[in-house]
Structure 1
Amino acid sequence: MSEDDAVAGPTDDGQLVQVEGFLVRLDLAYEPDGHLWVAPPVGPTGNVRIGLDPLGVETTGTVAHLVVGSVGTRVRRGEPLGSLEAEKFVGPLVAPLTGVIRAVNPALATPRRVVEDPYGTWVAEVLPEAWEEESVQLVRGADRLPAWFADEVRRFRLEGVLAQ
């Protein structure tokens, strides 16, 4: 895996929209509780790439340490995929779907990359076991994403997690 591949996002042509001061990629699916993005399966491997969305990055603060399970580890939706230590959050990184970890981004050795480029620095590639069933629990689609993301920003501001 090249250095460019480690940093490259799920696609280079993803449509971005500005929502409440954040860029949102409309071609991705989002885990509503953990604020992770999921690039739908493409290509011969069927793997999905997973990363932290900009709101998730903003609300956790400066990332100090990010660890993901090792290649070959089976993860279950709603259970830890890894762990995150940051300025405002220390705890599990929760898997947005069930599957087997096929790759961990070597760029995570420099965790600030996730903060600098949340869409460009994926965390793990997972071969999903039940994409069709579990993906319905993710937020996706240009018709739903902007409103959902705006609601999340407003919620975090009301909770005092984000500055006004």
Structure 2
Amino acid sequence: MSDENDNALNLDIPDHLEYSEEHVWVDTSVSPALVGITEFAEKKLGELVFVDLPEEGTRVEAGDEVLELESAKAVEPLVCPVAGTIRYVNHDVADDPTIVNNDPYGEGWLFKIELDDDEPELLDAEGYAKIAQ
């Protein structure tokens, strides 16, 4: 992470990912694209106790609520920032939601989606850092 992406909370905001204003990251460098929540969202929610993953094969539009994340603090929907078809879900996260807390940008990915649009309208790391405060 470059110095220009540092922020008040000293969050990890990987440069190679794209972000939504709802604190969801998308890795479009792989196909199908990976989707997960940012470190900001993970810290806001606290320790996760349940993740209600979508069904593989589900067709979603950008803006759809595709799953719920439950912690001791809150139950929050995940708003999908891209349109496409969910191809894989991370069953390890369903079995142990704390994987998301421990590694939100790695093993804590939530699902893989075949994108409808090759260039979804998302924020780069620098743009996301400005709202993740």
Same-fold status (TM-score > 0.5):
yes
Counting aligned pairs with the same residue, the percent is 28
Shift of 1:41: 4.2
- The 3-state SS of whatever aligns with 1:71 is coil
Shift of 1:35: 0.5
Shift of 1:147: 5.4
1:70 aligned to 2:55?
A: yes
Q: In 2, distance between residues paired with 1:122 and 1:89?
A: 20
Shift of 1:48: 0.4
Q: Which structure shows the bigger proportion of residues in helix conformation?
A: 1
- The 3-state SS of whatever aligns with 2:12 is strand
Higher relative contact order (CA 8 A, sep 6+): 2
Structure index of larger Rg? 1
- Aligned position for 2:12: 23
Letter aligned with residue 47 of structure 2 = T
Match of 2:129 among 139, 146, 149: 149
Distance 1:148 1:102, change over 3 A: closer
- Aligned position for 1:95: 80
Assess if the C-alpha contact under 8 Å between 2:87 and 2:111 holds in 1. Answer: yes
Please identify runs of 4+ aligned residues in structure 1 that moved more than 4 A.
none
Aligned 1:40-51 pairs, distance under 5 A: 40-42=28-30, 46-51=31-36
Report how many residues are paired.
Answer: 127
- Aligned position for 1:112: 98
Letter aligned with residue 114 of structure 2 = L
- Aligned position for 1:61: 46
Assess if the C-alpha contact under 8 Å between 1:19 and 1:146 holds in 2. Answer: no
- Aligned position for 2:24: 36
Distance 1:131 1:88, change over 3 A: farther
Shift of 1:67: 1.4
Letter aligned with residue 36 of structure 2 = G
Assess if the C-alpha contact under 8 Å between 2:38 and 2:104 holds in 1. Answer: yes
> Could you tell me the TM-score, scaled by structure 1's length?
0.71
Shift of 1:148: 3.6
- Gapped regions of structure 2 (runs ≥ 5): none
Shift of 1:58: 0.6
Letter aligned with residue 113 of structure 1 = I
Q: In 2, distance between residues paired with 1:125 and 1:96?
A: 13
Q: In 2, distance between residues paired with 1:100 and 1:67?
A: 17
Aligned 1:127-146 pairs, distance under 5 A: 127-132=114-119, 135-136=120-121, 138-140=122-124, 145-146=125-126
> Could you tell me the TM-score, scaled by structure 2's length?
0.87
RMSD: 1.6
